[in-house]
Structure formats: C-alpha cells, structure tokens
Amino acid sequence: MTTGPAAGDALAEVLSAGGADLSSALERTEARLAEVAGGHGPELGRHALGTLAAGGKRLRPVLVFVCAPSGERAEDLVRAAAAVELLHMATLVHDDVLDRAPLRRGQATVFAAGGREAATATGDLLFSRAFGELTLAGEPEAVRALSSASSALARGELMQRADAWSEVVTPERYRERCELKTGALFDAACRLGALLGGAGEEAVTALSRFGSRIGLAFQIFDDVLDVSGPSERTGKPRGTDLLDGTITLPLILARGRDPELAGLDLRSVVTEAAQAEALSDRIALTGALGEAREIALGHVSEAKAAISDLELPDERRRALDRVADGVVERYA
C-alpha cells in the first residue's frame, strides 16, 4: 500500500496538453514547497527539504491545476497545490516512522536520517504548513475540504493498521479504506482546483467525484503492482504488503478463488522476502490481478463519466483524460 513509480509519460502528456501554463504552475509549486519546507528553522528544514527532494509524481498538484477552470487566481492555486502535496508528504513521513522504513524512492527517509523524533516533528510541521499555506488562499471552504481529507487520511491509516494480518477483510472494507487513505486527498485536490478556479457548484461536485475515483483506481493499481512487480520497475521487492500484513485487493480476491489461500495465516507463513515473492506468484496464478485491474478500470471509467456532462474546453478535458489514463498506465 505504498506509492509506486512515476507515471512519467502520462504526466509529460498532461503537461503538454495543459500547455506552458501547467508546467510553469508546477514549477512555481515546487519553488513554493521548497520555500515552505526551508522556512522553519534549520533542524526541520534539513529533513523537510530532503523529503521534498525525494520527489514524487506531484500528481495531487497536477490535479489541482487541471481541475481549475481559470488560472486567474494563480497564486492561490499554487498555494492549494503546495498544500495538498505537503499534506501528502506529512503522511508519508509519519508512515515511514510506523513502518521503520529506511528508504523511500531510493532516498533515506526522515526516520532513517533523523530518527523517529525528528520524523514525527517533521510530519507535524508539514501538516501545519499545509493548512497554513491553504489558509493564505482565503477560501474557508477550501480549508474545510483539506481538513476533511486530512481526517480521512488518518482514519484510513488507522483502518489499515487495524486490519493488518486480518483474515476477514471484505472488498467493501478495502474500498472504504482506499477511499479514506487515497481517494479523499485526490478528491480534495480536485475540489480545491475547482473552487479556487471559480467552477460552479455542479462542476465542483463532478470534479471531486472524478478525483475520488481516480484515487481509488490509483491505489488499486498500486496494490496490484506490489504483487505483480517487476521489482526492477517498482523499485521494491514484490509482496512488501504481504510481509507487513497489509491486506489488499489482490489477496482478498485470491482468497475467494483459492480456498487454501483463504486459510493461510500471513503472519506465520510470510516472514521473509522469498516467501512474499512466492505468495505473490500464487496470488497471480488465481487470476486475482486481472480481476483487481478490471475493478480499477471500472473506477477510471466512473471518473470519466463523472465529468462527461460538464462543459469543458477541449484542452482541459484532454488533460483530465490524460490524468485518468496515466493512472492506468502505471499498470500497463
């Protein structure tokens, strides 16, 4: 249940579909993130800037910009984009503490470099700055949306940990968890872009739904990748979710297809990397990955359907479609 490799090509296409505006908006977001991360004392700056430098797709900022009908409030949109990314980073930093993760995207985590104290405080700072940034945009409804997403993230995180090693996680419960843990912030990113870009009420609702579904698909594909690999592409061994007891859709579906898998106690059976790889193979053999993929594709279709009735300029619809397709490409 970690974030996977960049959907580089799709993002490049979104950038070109969005034109120079989107590229420059993302550059400004990057500059703003560096400013925020570096502006709160040397101790935190070191860790926060490292987290930033580790990069990532900046998919949530992209969503902010492509969902804004107008770039008139460019400064506020940049703040919103920075805010969603800061919140995302905050959760990653805290996740790494909980997972005692040494590396993220090939770089030492704050946890590894500075210890859990530094990482907890850095995460808290990033949380604070997310709200601080967004508040500057002067749109209370936007802050409410971020706050609600932030609560959802915490709930999703807790739900995931509560369900660790469980033998009875249903697809519905998995979906709810993904909606909380991933969908909510994608939803908020789209909502923020729409709100600050001056979209009408109907468009705000439609774009939020678009974001939520994209987030759901994104998470499912990510969970499929953890099982399917290849590890050269994902940058991590296969089956890491199995190793830490995170029950994802591929395993849930495979359990329904293979009674022996259903009876398996992960905690005792998967204790090292080779076993996780072997179980990954076994899950793949059941055909569960294809089924999970179909479910994710269904969410992508729902995302597109959510905005099909909106009147959008061709260029923006193209950009939104490319974002949706980019999520699919992660799997291809």
Which member of 85, 157, 222, 226 binds a copy of itself (CB under 8 A)?
157
Report 9-68 residues binding a copy of itself (CB under 8 A): 40-41, 43-44
Q: Which is nearer to a copy of itself, 15 or 178 (CB)?
A: 178
- Can you tell me the distance from the alpha carbon of 10 to that of 250, in angstroms, rounded to the nearest whole number? 25
- Is residue 112 a contact residue for a copy of itself (CB under 8 A)? no
SS3 64: helix
Lookup: tokens for 263: 């009876």
107 DSSP β-pair partners: 104
State the Cα–Cα distance between residues 106 and 8, nearest whole angstrom: 17
Least Å distance between CB 235 and a copy of itself?
24
Q: Which of 161, 168, 170, 287 binds a copy of itself (CB under 8 A)?
A: 161
Q: Considering the rule CB under 8 A, would residue 168 count as an interface residue with a copy of itself?
A: no
Q: Does 251 bind a copy of itself (CB under 8 A)?
A: no
| Among the listed residues 65, 111, 127, 174, the single contact to a copy of itself using CB under 8 A | 127
Number of residues located near a copy of itself, criterion CB under 8 A: 43
The residue from 10, 11, 33, 97 that contacts a copy of itself (CB under 8 A) is 97
User: For a copy of itself, which residue of 19, 144, 287, 305 counts as binding (CB under 8 A)?
Assistant: 144
Stretch of 53-61, 127-135, 165-173, 254-262 lying at the interface with a copy of itself (CB under 8 A): 127-135
Q: How far is the CB of 43 from a copy of itself (least distance, A)?
A: 5
Buried b (16+ CB within 10 A) or exposed e, 11-38: bebbbebbeeebeebbebbbebbbebbe
Rounded Cα distance between 39 and 195, Å, is 28
Note whether 166 binds a copy of itself by CB under 8 A.
Answer: no
Burial of 280-316, coded b for 16+ CB within 10 Å and e otherwise, reads: bebbbebebbebbbebbbebbebbbebbeebebeeeb
Q: Which of 32, 94, 191, 238 binds a copy of itself (CB under 8 A)?
A: 94
End-to-end CA distance of the chain: 18
Question: For residues 71-90, which are near a copy of itself according to CB under 8 A?
Answer: 90
Q: Are 171 and 249 in contact (CB under 8 A)?
A: yes
Residues with Cβ within 8 Å of residue 196, at least 6 apart in sequence = 64, 68, 73, 76, 77, 80, 137, 139, 142
Residue type, 98: L
Specify the residue, 176 or 325, whose C-beta has the smaller distance to a copy of itself: 176
Decide: is 148 part of the binding site for a copy of itself (CB under 8 A): yes
Contact positions toward a copy of itself, by CB under 8 A?
A: 40-41, 43-44, 90-91, 94, 97-98, 115-118, 120-125, 127-129, 131-132, 135-136, 138, 140, 143-144, 146-148, 150-151, 153-155, 157-159, 161-162
